[in-house]
Amino acid sequence: MSHEEKNIRIFHNPKCSKSRQTLQILHDRNTNPQIIEYLKTPPNESELEEILKLLGMEPRDLMRKKEDIYKELKLDDTSLDRQNLIRAMIENPKLIERPIVLSNNKATIGRPPENVIGLL
C-alpha cells in the first residue's frame, strides 16, 4: 500500500516545534499528509469523537491542561460531562494536544514526534 492510500492527516500547529518535527518526519518518509491547521479549522464533534476513539482517550486526556483557558473555563471540574469537554475543545482548539496524526484507522500524538513512525 502506498502512503497516499493511507490517507494520512495531521492536526498541525505551525508554531509548535513538536508539530513541525512530526510533519518533517512525515515528509522525510515520502508521505503527502493532509495538513489541518486545527487552530484555524477545528475538528467538529464527530471528528473529535473519532480521534478520541482511535487514540483510546477520554476528552480530558487530550487537553493541554497548562493552557490558561483550561483554568479560566474550570475544565478540571469533575462534574463536567464528556459533551461539555468536547464542546470546550471545539470552541477553544488551543486546548487540543498536538500534533495528532491519523492514518489507516489509527491515530497517535506526535509527542515525541517519533511516535508517528509506527503509523507509517
State yes or no: is 16 an active-site residue: yes
- Catalytic position from the list 3, 9, 16, 25: 16
- The 3 state secondary structure assigned to the chain is CCCHHHCCEEEECCCCHHHHHHHHHHHHCCCCCEEEECCCCCCCHHHHHHHHHHHCCCHHHHECCCCHHHHHCCCCCCCCCHHHHHHHHHHCHHHECCCEEEECCEEEECCCHHHHHHHC
Strand 100-103: give its sheet, edge to edge: 34-37, 9-12, 100-103, 106-109
Catalytic residues: 16
